[in-house]
Amino acid sequence: MNQVLTAEHLLGEAMAGLHGEATVPKGTALKCGVDLGTASIILALLDQDDAVVATAMEPCQVAKDGLVVDYMGAIDITRRLKRQLEERTGRELEAAAIAVPPGTGTANSNTHRHVVEGAGLEVTAVLDEPTAANLVLGITDGAVVDIGGGTTGLSVFKDGQVVYVADEPTGGTHMSLVLMGRYGLTFEQAEAMKQDPAQADEVRAAVLPVSEKMATIVEHHLAGQAVDEVWLVGGAAGLKGIEDVFAGQLGRPTHKPPHPMMVTPLGIAMSCEARQG
């Protein structure tokens, strides 16, 4: 199957996997990915063939600019989501993979690891977020840009290998701050406004300067790089029309898969060591 069609299928399954029971045939090995994001924590559960078994997500504010700032809160939420998946599948989860923003130092990377270990999961792999996303997208040559709640990170690929990574503050949280100031909203109300399809055009216009700043960050890092195409992933990439802003700023074709917030969690899970449980 075409890699793009495979990715679209997986992402659709990941969204569907947020709800209902999950049937796991006897003898199936499972792979778990934990995405500790600025706006939410997402757990993705796959089988040994990378088919989606179930997903779980909870909005939260336990991280800032890709760094965990509420350690115990992050553990509690991860433990709660782990328990949800265990109840839905009837299987005990033992291990997980994690990802961090590109360029994250050892101390901050270890904090992510300690959160997941504190929730009762052995960490079997650690990778950067755009590289994790590319396990789903399968890009050989180009750039993958992960727009999260706090940061915009990117990885440049050449012949299937990572040749450059970068990460800078500015993400979905900054969009919410703009909406708060413009409309006199609380942070929670601004987040809800971003998710309301009926207000998508108004949100897009209000946060255009933030989108342009993100695109400028990527443009700066791609200067001198032989990159012909760009792919956007991450929760903030769900903004309507953001790919057009990037395409205009970068002068390069820019693509956005469906359900972009699920790309990185699925890629993280793909890198996990499969366990029978």
Average pLDDT on 102-129 reads 88
Break the chain down into helix, strand, coil percent, rounded to 5. 45, 25, 30
Return the pLDDT at 3.
Answer: 54
125: pLDDT strictly greater than 80: yes
Phi and psi dihedrals of 221, rounded to 5?
-75, -20
1: pLDDT strictly greater than 50: no
Return the pLDDT at 13.
Answer: 79
Cβ neighbours of 160 (radius 10 Å):
10
Q: Where are the beta strands (DSSP E) in the chain?
A: 30-36, 40-47, 52-59, 63-64, 67-68, 95-100, 122-128, 142-147, 151-158, 161-169, 230-233, 254-255
pLDDT digits (tens, 9 = 90+) for 235-267: 999 999 999 999 999 999 999 998 999 999 999
Q: What is the pTM of this model?
A: 0.89
Domains of the chain and any CATH numbers = 3-133+262-270 (3.30.420.40), 138-258 (3.30.420.40)
The gap between the terminal CA atoms of the chain, to the nearest Å, is 30
151: pLDDT strictly greater than 70: yes
Q: To 10 degrees, the CA torsion angle through 103, 105, 106, 108? A: -110
Q: Evaluate whether 128 touches 102 at the Cβ level (below 8 Å).
A: yes
